[in-house]
Amino acid sequence: MPLPELLPGTLDMLILKAVSLGPLHGYGILLRIQQISRDVLQIEQGSLYPALYRLEHQGLIESEWGISDNNRRAKYYRLTSGGKKRLRNDRARWDRLAAAVGEILNATPEEV
């Protein structure tokens, strides 16, 4: 799904979730989101890296340099305690939104 079809704030939530599963470098975050979504969501690098910068600047993730599986220097991201809190809040908001949309889509003529 191209990024413009995602709701505002969804990319940040997906990145926070991906990083919550373990430290990852940028490309690893793209692959994790793609893998978990069974290739439905494909985040472009041009969207990912500005989001990582923004999340790090907000103190929701932190980074350190390391060596990737293919022996390249890479910046690895991990969730901060503030990032964990933000992910919990975003997840709760997302669940309420999804439930409300589900109710609307499941409504029958007798209920309106």
Which pLDDT score is estimated for 112?
Answer: 65
Crossing angle for the helix pair 45-57 and 26-36, to the nearest 10 degrees: 110
Q: What is the distance between the alpha carbons of residues 45 and 53, in angstroms, rounded to a whole number?
A: 12
Q: Give me the CATH number covering residue 47.
A: 1.10.10.10
Q: Is residue 112 part of a domain?
A: no
Q: Give a yes or no: residue 88 inside a domain.
A: yes
For residue 5, what pLDDT is reported? 64
Q: Is residue 111 part of a domain?
A: no
- How many helices (H) and strands (E) are present in the chain, helices listed first? 4, 3
Strand boundaries in the chain, DSSP class E: 24-25, 61-67, 73-79
Domain that holds residue 46: 3-106
**112 residues of the chain, pLDDT tens digit each:** 554 466 667 999 999 999 999 999 999 999 999 999 999 898 888 899 999 999 999 999 999 999 988 899 999 999 999 999 999 999 999 999 999 999 999 999 886 6
pLDDT of residue 107: 92
Asked if residues 16 and 87 have their Cβ atoms less than 8 Å apart, the reply is yes
Q: Structure pTM?
A: 0.87
